[in-house]
Amino acid sequence: MGLDGKTAVVTGAARGIGYAYCRRLAADGAHVVAVDIDDPADAVAELTGGGDKLGLVCDISKPSQVDAVAETVLDRYGRCDILVNNAGIFPFTDLDHVTMELWRKVQAVNVEATLLFAKAFAPGMRAAGWGRIVNTGSGITVTQNRDLAYLTSKGTVHALTRALANELGGSGITVNAIAPGLVATEGFLGRVRTSGPSADEVFARVTAMQTIKRRSVPADLGNALGFLVSDDADFITGQILHVDGGMTRTGA
């Protein structure tokens, strides 16, 4: 799509959907900064194409560490052109068992970090008159009525996406969210192994409800990102793009 010279920052980038985002951005020519709580060095070393590649370790629930990442990016590249807020945690919670400590942790990682990174990088996008912010939402907001803290956090991400689009649209910045369905990632497979039905059983149930009868893979999300950050999508903002094989067929 032609991102030569653009700098992209991706959180939750060491594996899964975040790594698929990095691969697509690098293939399209961008400098890629991969941010993760686990050292993303090995993932960064495997990226091909594009410009510079940099891996940074960051606990995004800690504002001081977000500030440190932003300072490093701005010192090295001058600005961030493409911000992909992908990192998230999804411990199962319900009303009877959720603790305030866990509730606040989910909101800090899934919601507050999205705001902190936007605050850090939007000024440079404004100055350049061009920017892309893409958040990772979730189809869970319309397809499932449990998982209390995670569902709430992703609904808030969708609302924050629209609020940022409203505020930044006049500056040449688009803000959208990609809402995946169930994706075969290490994080999901690790969660399934701890309890409940097998991954095969879960995917069979989900794909039966999709119009496209196959499992979603991280590259499906990377392809959607490639479009949203391109100039071809410069009239699209404030949207929640459900990339789930037709699982979600109404708006959210």
**Residues forming beta bridges with residue 36, ordered by sequence position:** 57
Burial (CB count <10 Å: 0-12, 13-18, 19+), residue 101: exposed
CA distance 66 to 88: 14
Distance of CA 55 to the CA centre of its chain: 16
SS3 category, 72: helix
Q: Is 19 a catalytic residue?
A: no
What whole-number distance in Å separates Cα of residue 177 and Cα of residue 193? 28
Residue 239 phi, psi (nearest 5)? -105, 150
CA distance 18 to 209: 25
Evaluate whether 236 touches 228 at the Cβ level (below 8 Å): yes
The catalytically annotated residue of 19, 21, 77, 150 is 150
Active site residues: 150
